[in-house]
Each structure stands twice: as structure tokens, then as C-alpha cells.
Amino acid sequence: MNIPRQGVGAPVRRLEDDRYLEGRGRFAGDIRMPGMLEVAFLRSPVAHAGLRGVAKPEGAAHQVFTAADLEGVRGIRADSGLPGFRSSVQPVLAADRIRHVNEPVAACVAPSRAEAEDLAEATGLDLDILPAVHDMLKARDPDAPLLHDGWEENVFLESGFEQGFEAASADAAIRIRRQYRTSRQCMSPMEGRGVVAYVDEQADQLVVITSTQMPHIVRNGLAECLGIDQGRIRVIAPDVGGGFGYKGILLAEEVMLGWLALKLRRPVRWIEDRREQLAGNANCREHWYDITGYASADGRLLAVECEAIVDSGAYSAYPFSACLEAAQVASILPGPYKMDGFRCRTWSVATNKPAILPYRGVARTGVCFAMELMMDELARGIGMEPAEFRRRNLVTGSEMPFVNITNKIFDSGDYVEALDRSLAALDLPALRARQARGEPDGRHLGVGISIFCEQGAHGTSVYSGWGIPMVPGFEQATARMTPDGGLELRVGVQSHGQSLETTLAQIANEVLGVDPAKVKLVHGDTALTPYSTGTWGSRCIVMAGGAVATACEELAERAKKIAGTLLQADPDAIVLGNGEARGPSGSVTLAEIGSVWYHRPQDLPEGVDPAGLEATKGYKTVRDTGTFSYACHTAVVLVDPGTGAVEIEDYRITEDGGVLVNPMVVDGQVWGGAVQGIGTALYEEMPYDSEGQPLSTTLAEYLLPGAAEAPSIPIAHMETPSPISRFGQKGIGESGAIGPPAAIGNAVNDALRAFGAAIDQVPITPERVMAALARGERA
Amino acid sequence: MKAARFDLHLAADAAEAVRHLQGDDAKPVAGSQSLGPMLNLRLARPGLLVDVTRCAELRAVTEEAEDVLYGAALTHAEFEDGALPDATPGWLAPIARRIAYRAVRNRGTIGGSIAHADPAADWVATMTGLGASVRILGPEGARELPMAEFVTGALSTALGPDEIVTAIRLPRRGPEARWSYWKFCRKVGEFAKASACVLADPARDEYRVLAAAIERAPVALPDPRALIEGRADPREAVEAALPFLSPERRALQATATSRALAALETGVPA
């Protein structure tokens, strides 16, 4: 029998596709329950105010709930243990102070959402308007209004890193200083947030069905805020339509829905609408860099110095805290390069905006933009092709594993090879010749490169250092063979687009030989799965994958023992594959093994392991400092000087994700991320006015890349195994979203260079290009 | 984002629609692609919506010797798909194809777009450029206004609160007529940031160079023949005719005008 390989490395078709493509998925918005009430939130119309009172509509006291009703409910608190961290408490409903537009102030409950919105509209707010902090660069001004009582300045955390800077920078032939900015963005999964909560009277449990990436962490947060035992809470993630980090937080709305279900003893539902998502919740990405690069005349990067500010918004979001992003900047800014000197100071500043949340790539997208634009400037400064300047400073394959200047341990790979493969596909000399000739339509051609590495699946030692409410430990999985030889896998991570139903089944196939079609993944339910911090940080295929493999290995040993009895063979001589256990002189199917354990225990051998065909195992990587995938992105753009429009003519990625469990799934992850990166580079921006009002409150203003804006992106894979993971696989989930702003930014600046112009901010809007050209002309 | 409470009346014909618009609080609706979001954001709160999409005369095409009359409730998609006779040598489908997204085009109507009078709307620009006029029905009976008089400003028209647009009258164009429409959008399907159209119809001695998507009603540039024949500089014409635009928007408008003129020259549909 010739069965195609379905294990690690096979491009198995996604097991979850049928359900999704035929519209049979079950998302929070699909859930209806008898007697269910809809919830609408009354949200603050202003960015900063004292809240003197809330006037409920007459006769609606039992339908409108305010902070005054929430006796015993604690606000959301996500402190970091890093020294100097200032703590904030995010109220479930604003009590006496409002700190950003659209902060929830009252929850209104009615049979329909429209009626609930009628109640919200009829509820009055008595506000004492305060001046707002709307600009992160002004948040630390001595006269800036303070957001939180007891703070001396609007800073959650100041952090930094310094190593060898003075000595390394002293003799630089060239020193270039630039300021860069990434705009505030809003994560925009196809499905927004949504929560259904009810009380399961039989189980004596509050059940919260929520569109989340981390059900177990949400349960921690709910127990803390509501003050009830963990055992009395069950959190379920149904089908989840994309997350990207936006569903990796505890929402005030989740706490509120839980409280309402307990209070009303009726099912309640809140489905976030686009305005709530855009203008109140899903904020991310806003960074500012003042960066100086130092290089030698022969093209050696000597040192980098940087001050960076991250606009963390009003509150520290649970569980990652308000400082993860800025503190990461200081540790990852050097990127994939060698340097002898580095100095970086960062500030996580508080402003009257929604809390900044971790978005795919987290700080890396901004860091890559700042560092890679600086690399191009330095190269130009010493008259070198930017690709060549990079080649001379990248960590090389022979130096792996490499401990970089901020003590990151790059596990494996060949960054120079990735660059060279990208360049070969690009034909840079031909592009330079074309650039010199000029385009027939008057547009300007530009070529840009970005190269970066991405730490994924980093574990206990890294996160215990941050001291945030969530530290990943051993990742666990349960593997249970069914009586018919199928397999149930139970994992605490949550698949919301990562294809884990397929890829974890492939890993089970690799170890047990079970047909992936007979593997059922059980996930997204605190009642049914082992504890996990969930899906974030490009960790699932490494951590949950490793845990599934470990549990399946245990199961394999037990299955082989049973098979050994049936085949009268030494269990060590038995090999599992293609759904059967094969001995030296015959084979039995997994179904027969299952049948013996469950249906015919009388046939079991003496001394069989009484734990049976079910095993829960924990897993950690060999070293918990993370896998480092890496990629080189190249962009060829055409800039229209008549409109400022940027067209991506060619976009390519060379990617090394270690051993690919399913190359087709990896391509999908990288493409999706890259298109989001194009959104960061060219389209997405959530500006705030001087009163702290968000200005892109609908999708007519907040532009997302669509099908027409997504170029066809060839991906070339390298597969350097990671020495620390079970199969050599690396986390790859965020990678695609990191490189595009830098590659496209460098390409645009390459096109604008002839005009003495450069952009220094994403998104690269037509207005910013035209303004840059005008500045270039004046200069 | 759910609309405030309103009543809905499905009008069987245009006269009935007009009768139902007599209250203060009533508004006509067709495809609901502009009004719908305004309702859901509660920025528009009519007490009564009068749906005109079932009125037979608003769904009709009437072919006359010199003109074609398009019922106001014909959808963008029907123009895009070539399901309707074209008064021009094939210019209407390419205009319709680039309005927003197909889902919007399936429901959005030409009359609704013109009555809403978003300055960046494709039909507002092109129907003005093509010399169309608007047929209106009100309590006093029917009347007709040229597009240039119908649109009075951004989101503002000569339409009374108790009147509806019933049809768009479009003059026929012969094979010697030339036309181009160029618009600049941040991304496919978004409203234009600047647009321009050019008409050169020697048979009817009609020439027009129109600047649109300028946050007010489209503006016809003076001396269009000089622009079309290359005797005048479009940048200077835009500078002179659109002093109210910011320098950045004016530069973009000059680009739009130049490119529309160039497209007319090369015959490449813009």
C-alpha cells in the first residue's frame, strides 16, 4: 500500500477547511441561547474627564449597570516586575475617571442590540472634561496632565540596555541620526471580539464563551476580577476568526459579561462592532525612534544608539502589560546584525488612548523599520550598495549559535545565505540599470530590502524576567487513543487560523502513524484541555507541537507493548506507521490495539501499563530562549510623483522557519502576515486629534489592504533545523508582518533619493510622499 | 451600530413614493449604500423610509432618438454588466466597474448616488461630464434639471425634501465622440481623492474638461477646447479655477486633469 507521507513536512490539505469554507464554523456571533439578552456599552465620548455621575434612563435601572453596581469587582491589573514600573488599574466600567474615548461606562441589556443601544443613548453622563494627552512625544512634558493618581510622570516604565557603546562608536567614520515613527494601528481580524456568558446551574459554573486566543489566561483574569474560584469558571473559545494579538488580552467586556450573567442568571451576549474595535479597543504599534548609526568607512556597523518611545495608551493590558513593547525595543533593536556597541533607552508612556496591545510581530515591526532604514542610510553614507553593507554585518552561518549584543541566543541559520538567495531572485544589477534609464511613464523605481530574525516560543526564563501576570512553563498535551484506533489530542492553545487541527495531527501521524483524518483536536476550553498560556509569540508549533509529540511518544510505547503481546514480538522491534504496528512477522492495526484495551481487556498481557491509551505530557524546548526564524524581504516599488502613490511591482520573501511541519500552512501564514505588513507600510493609520478623539472610526477612513492591494508574493524556503525544538521546527506565525514596512520604506526612499527626499513614517501615504518630495525640492 | 427605530414603506410607484414623503420626517431610500451606514451610525434618523426600488418607472430604460433615460433605481452592477443599452460608445460599464466594490454595486443605484451627491462619487462626476440631466418628481409634478444645476455642493442638491429622482437623461454620443475619466484612489474601491473627465464630441460641438472630487460640486474648466487641443496648460487651468483647494489637493487635481487629457489623446480608457 502506497500512502503519501502525512507527517512532518507534508503539505497536507487543511482538515478545518471544509467547515470554514462551507460556512459551518461556529463563532461567538453564531451562538444563540434561549432567553439570551444582548449587551451594548455606553462608551465615553471624551478622552479625559472626571466622571461625576451616570443618569440611567427612567425605569431602566434593572437594564443599565454602572461601576456603582459592580460591588466587589476588581479592575484589571497587569503589573510588570521590572524595576520602576508604574501600576495602572483598568476599571471594568469607568468609575470616577475616564481616560480614553470609548472607554466603557455603562452596560445596557435588552432583548435586541438595537434596543440596548437605545438605552445607551438615553443614559446621561455628567463629565468634568480634562485636557487630554494625545501625543506620546508630549506625554512627558512637565505641564502634561497626569493620567494616573500618584504618578510623577506619564510613564509606565523607563528601560534600557547598554553594552560597549562609547568605545565602539568613538572612531566611527560616519555617524547618521534619524527620527522614525510608526503610526497607531488597529488590529482588524475578520471577526471582532464577541462574548456569550451564562451560568451552567448543573455544573455550578459561569461559562464564558469568548473569541479569544488564550482561554486559560482569560479564566485567570476573570477569577481575579470577579473574585470567584477558578473551578466555578469555564472559558470556551469557539471558532475564532483571526486574532493577531487582539484576542490575546483580557477585555473589560469579558469581565462585565461574566458579571451580568451571574447577576441576571440569563445568557448575555456582546458582539463587538467595527466602531468599537477601531475607535475603542484594538490599538497597537505606535512607536517613535531617535536612532543614530555608526559605521566604519569599509562598511562595518560599529554601534547603534537609540531613544524610543511607545505610546502605551491609558492602561496596562492584561496579561502582557504596558511595557512589553518598549522594553522589547531595547533588547531586539540590533536585529540580525553584529555590532560592538549598543545603547538604547525606551519609555512606555501613558496617553489618553486605548491601551496598546500586542499585534503580530509586537515590537519587531517598528524595530525592523527603524533599524533597516538606518542600515540603508549608513550604506548610502559610505557609498555602498545597501545589500553589501548588510552582508558585511549579518551574523554568518558559521557563527551559529550566536549570542548577540543583547544576549539573545540565535539558535541556527544562515542569514547571509537568505540575503544572497533574495538578491539572486531580484537581479539587482538589472534593476539598477532600469532605475538609471528611468520609467517610460515618469514614475520612479525603487528597490528595498529588509532582513530580520524573530524570536518565537520563548519560555519561562524570558517571561519570568518580565515579571508579568503570565509566564509560560511546560506546555502540556493529552493524547488519547479511541477504541477504534483514532486519536484525540487535547491542547490548551487555541487555533484561530494557524491550522493547528491539521499540523498537530501531522505531528501525531509522525509519531504514531495515525491517519491525520482520524485525529480530533480538542482545544479552546478550560474544562477539556490542559492549562496553557495560549496562542501567542509564534509558539504553538514548537510548544504545543512538542507537547503533542511527547504525549504521542508515551502512547506509542504503551501501544507497542500491547501490539507486542498480540504479535508475540518484542515491543522494541515494533514500528508504528500507516495506522498499524508492524513487527518482524506481521502487524496489527491501531484499531485492534484500541479494541483490546477498551473492549477486550481479558486479552491484555500481564504487566500492561494501567495508565492505558491516554497520556498527558509536558514539554519544554532544550533551551527556553526561543527559536529564531528569520527572513529577507525585497520590494520593488514604483512611486508616482504626480500623486504620491506607491505601487508594489514585485515583493519576495526568503524565509527560514526551520523544519516546516506543513509548508503550505507556512506559506499561508507568511502571506497573511506580509499583507498585514503592507497595511502597516501603506494604508493603516488611526490618528487622534488634540482632544484625543480617534479620527479613523469606520472602515471608510481606516484603510485595510484588500485583495487588489495584495501582490503575489513568491516565498523561497530555507529549512535550517532548530537545535532546540522537537523536530527542528521554528515559530513562524508573526514573521510575515515584520518585514514589509522596512522593505517598502527602503524601496520608496531608494526611489525618492534622486530628489533628495525621504519618508520617515509609516504608513507611506500619498500625502507623505508628496510632502517628502516638496521638502526635497525646497532643499 | 444599529439604526434607531424607523418605519419603512415600500412604494409601488413613484407617485405613491412622493405622497409618502410629505411628512417632515421621511426620506427616500434605494440601495441604502450611503444612507445605510448613516442610519447604523445614527447620524441619520428619519422616522420613515420610503423604499423606491420597487417603482417600475425607476427601474425602466427609455430609449429616445437623442437621449436614453435611465431609471433612478438601476444599480451600478446593471451598468457594469452591460445589461442596459448604452447611450455612449461603451463608456458606462467601465465607469460602473470601478465604483466601490461589487457588493456595493449590487445594491447601490445611479439615482441614489446622484441624489446623495457625494462630491467624490463616480456618477456625480461622470454624469456631469457627459452632460446628463436629472428627472425629478414632486408634489407639483415632474421637472428636469441639468446635472450642473442639480448638484449644488457637497452632499447638497436642488432636490426638495418631498421630491425624488426618477431618471437620468443621457444624450447619445456618436462614434467620433471621445471621452476619458481618470480618478485617483488610495486603494481599489475607495472614494476618489481627485478625478477629472474630458468629453470631446465634435458632432454636437460639445467639449468639457471637468474637475471633480473637490469637496464641492464638479467644476468645468474654462476653454476646454484649448486644453483638449493642447493649447493650454492643464496645471495653470486648475490653479486658476480651483483656488479654494489646498496646494496639495490642487497638485493632485492637476495630475488628474493632465492624465484625463492624456488618456483622451491616446484613446486608452482611463
Quick: pLDDT tens for B4-13: 999 999 999 9
CB A666 within 8 A of CB A657: yes
Q: Which residues of B touch A114 (CB under 8 A)?
A: 2-5
- Range of the structural domain that residue A55 is part of: 31-130+193-240+247-281
Residue A724 domain flag: yes
To the nearest 10 degrees (0 to 180), the angle between helices A766-778 and B247-266 is 100
Question: Is A423 in the same domain as A552?
Answer: no
Label residue A606 by pLDDT band (50, 70, 90). Answer: confident
Residue A97 domain flag: yes
Question: Is A325 in the same domain as A354?
Answer: yes
B184-213 residues touching A, CB cutoff 8 A: 184, 186-191, 193
Question: Is A252 in the same domain as A378?
Answer: no
For residue A90, the domain's CATH number is 3.90.1170.50
Q: What is the pLDDT of residues A279-295, one digit of tens each?
A: 999 999 999 999 999 99
Q: Is B2 helix (H, G, I), strand (E, B) or coil?
A: coil
Mean pLDDT estimate for chain A = 96
By C-alpha distance, which of A68, A42, A64, A56 is closest to A109?
A64
CB-CB under 8 Å, B188 with A767:
no
Question: Is A490 in the same domain as A391?
Answer: no
CA A540 from centre of chain: 12
Q: Is A510 helix (H, G, I), strand (E, B) or coil?
A: helix
H/E element, A675: helix A663-678
CB-CB under 8 Å, B186 with A703:
yes
Mean predicted confidence (pLDDT) in A472-485: 97
Domain stops at, among A619, A654, A669: A619
Name the amino acid, one letter, at A708: A
CB B125 within 8 A of CB B195: yes
B5 touches chain A (CB under 8 A): yes
B248 touches chain A (CB under 8 A): yes
Taking the CB of residue B60, how many other CB atoms lie within 10 A of it?
A: 15
Strand order in A341-349's β-sheet? Answer: A155-163, A341-349, A301-311, A287-295, A174-182, A761-762
Residue A673 domain flag: yes
B251-270 residues touching A, CB cutoff 8 A: 251-252, 255, 258-259
Q: Which residues of B touch A766 (CB under 8 A)?
A: 184, 186, 193, 252
How far apart are alpha carbons A564 and B36 in whole angstroms?
Answer: 69
Mean predicted confidence (pLDDT) in B183-208: 96
CB A709 within 8 A of CB A678: yes
How far apart are alpha carbons B64 and A571 in whole angstroms?
Answer: 90
> Which letter does DSSP use for residue A365 in this model?
H
Residue A150 domain flag: no
Q: What is the pLDDT of residues B154-184, one digit of tens each?
A: 999 999 999 999 999 999 999 999 999 999 9
Mean predicted confidence (pLDDT) in A532-536: 96
CB-CB under 8 Å, A771 with B248:
yes
Residue B26 has pLDDT above 60, yes or no: yes
CB-CB under 8 Å, A118 with B4:
yes
Residue A91 domain flag: yes
Determine the pLDDT at residue A495: 94
Mean predicted confidence (pLDDT) in A460-470: 90
Q: Is A524 helix (H, G, I), strand (E, B) or coil?
A: coil
Which of B2, B3, B187 lies at the smallest CB-CB distance from A706? B187
Which of B37, B187, B193 lies at the smallest CB-CB distance from A708? B187
Burial label for A427, CB within 10 Å (0-12, 13-18, 19+), is exposed
CB-CB under 8 Å, A645 with B184:
yes
Which of A113, A644, A703 lies at the smallest CB-CB distance from B187? A703
How far apart are alpha carbons A35 and A266 in whole angstroms?
Answer: 7
Which of A114, A117, A706 lies at the smallest CB-CB distance from B188? A706
CB-CB under 8 Å, B42 with A121:
yes
ipTM: 0.95
CB A560 within 8 A of CB A581: yes
Would residue A285 be called left, alpha or beta, if left means φ above 0 and alpha means ψ between -120 and 50 degrees? left
Q: What is the pLDDT of residues A612-623, one digit of tens each?
A: 999 999 999 999
Q: Which residues of B touch A770 (CB under 8 A)?
A: 248, 251-252
Determine the pLDDT at residue A117: 98
Determine the pLDDT at residue A465: 87
Label residue A777 by pLDDT band (50, 70, 90). Answer: confident
Determine the pLDDT at residue B268: 54
Residue A148 domain flag: no
C-alpha cell of residue A751? 526611489
Determine the pLDDT at residue B270: 46
Question: Is A349 in the same domain as A267?
Answer: no
Which of A642, A683, A767 lies at the smallest CB-CB distance from B255? A642
Give the rounded percent of residues in chain A with a pLDDT score beyond 90.
97
How far apart are alpha carbons A184 and A195 in whole angstroms?
Answer: 26
Name the amino acid, one letter, at A677: G
Which of B3, B37, B255 lies at the smallest CB-CB distance from A643? B255
Radius of gyration of chain A (CA): 27
Burial label for B114, CB within 10 Å (0-12, 13-18, 19+), is buried
Question: Is A58 in the same domain as A203?
Answer: yes
Determine the pLDDT at residue A607: 79
C-alpha cell of residue B19? 405622497
Give the rounded percent of residues in chain B with a pLDDT score beyond 90.
96
Interface test with B, best of A39, A102, A108, A117 (most B CBs within 10 A): A117
Residue A504 domain flag: yes
Q: What is the pLDDT of residues A152-162, one digit of tens each?
A: 999 999 999 99
Which of B4, B37, B248 lies at the smallest CB-CB distance from A770? B248
How far apart are alpha carbons A332 and A159 in whole angstroms?
Answer: 13
Question: Is A288 in the same domain as A404?
Answer: yes
Q: Which residues of A touch B37 (CB under 8 A)?
A: 698, 700
Determine the pLDDT at residue A2: 62
CA end-to-end distance (rounded Å), chain A: 73
Question: Is A497 in the same domain as A613?
Answer: yes
Question: Is A492 in the same domain as A550?
Answer: yes
C-alpha cell of residue A333? 533593536
Question: Is A669 in the same domain as A746?
Answer: yes
> Which letter does DSSP use for residue A725 in this model?
S
Interface test with B, best of A121, A278, A643 (most B CBs within 10 A): A643
- State how far residue A672 is from chain B, nearest Cα, in angstroms: 18
Q: What is the pLDDT of residues B226-269, one digit of tens each?
A: 999 999 999 999 999 999 999 999 999 999 999 999 999 766 55
How far apart are alpha carbons A311 and A349 in whole angstroms?
Answer: 5
Question: Is A666 in the same domain as A646?
Answer: yes
How far apart are alpha carbons A656 and A666 in whole angstroms?
Answer: 10
How far apart are alpha carbons A395 and A554 in whole angstroms?
Answer: 39
CA end-to-end distance (rounded Å), chain B: 37
The number of domains in chain A is: 3
To the nearest 10 degrees (0 to 180), the angle between helices B234-241 and B247-266 is 140
CB pairs under 8 A between A and B: 55
How far apart are alpha carbons B175 and B203 in whole angstroms?
Answer: 9
Dihedral pair phi/psi, residue A308, rounded to 5° = -135, 145
Dihedral pair phi/psi, residue B46, rounded to 5° = -70, 150
H/E element, A746: helix A740-752
- State how far residue B59 is from chain A, nearest Cα, in angstroms: 29
Domains of chain B: 7-51 (3.30.43.10), 56-171 (3.30.465.10), 178-265 (3.30.390.50)
Name the amino acid, one letter, at A400: M
Q: What is the pLDDT of residues B50-76, one digit of tens each?
A: 999 999 999 999 999 999 999 999 999
Which of B184, B187, B189 lies at the smallest CB-CB distance from A643? B184
Question: Is A357 in the same domain as A269?
Answer: no
Q: What is the pLDDT of residues A119-165, one digit of tens each?
A: 999 999 999 999 999 999 999 999 999 999 999 999 999 999 999 99
Angle at A230 between CA A40 and CA A490, to 5 degrees: 95
- State how far residue B216 is from chain A, nearest Cα, in angstroms: 19
Residue A147 domain flag: no
How far apart are alpha carbons A190 and A277 in whole angstroms?
Answer: 11
For residue A599, the domain's CATH number is 3.30.365.10
How far apart are alpha carbons B218 and B152 in whole angstroms?
Answer: 9
